[in-house]
């Protein structure tokens, strides 16, 4: 069974901004929190519609994209 990404981009939701599946929370919000030095827990507290598992999966997907050979 193919892996289903936790990140979706739908032109009908926030103009196609990549969001966590089933939410209207942009993935870049997580990146912004982490860049600012906030913890994952702080992000999750402020965006309760995003599960810990989804946040970690999104980070793992980003890592895989950035570290895979081209």
Q: What is the pTM of this model?
A: 0.87
- Range 7-65 has CATH code 1.10.10.10: yes
**Structure tokens of 67?**
């570290």
- For the chain, the domains span 7-65
1 pLDDT tier (thresholds 50, 70, 90) = low
Cβ-proximal residues to 43 (8 Å cutoff; 6+ apart), any chain: 29, 30, 33, 34, 50, 55
Compute CA 13 distance to the chain's CA centroid, rounded to the nearest angstrom.
15
Is residue 69 predicted with pLDDT exceeding 90?
no
């Amino acid at each position: 069974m193919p892996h289903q990404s936790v990140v979706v981009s739908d032109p009908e939701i926030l103009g196609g901004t990549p969001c966590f599946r089933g939410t209207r929370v942009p993935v870049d919000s997580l990146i912004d929190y982490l860049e600012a030095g906030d913890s994952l827990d702080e992000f999750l507290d402020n965006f309760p519609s995003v599960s810990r598992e989804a946040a970690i999966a999104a980070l793992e997907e980003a890592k895989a994209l950035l570290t895979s050979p081209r």
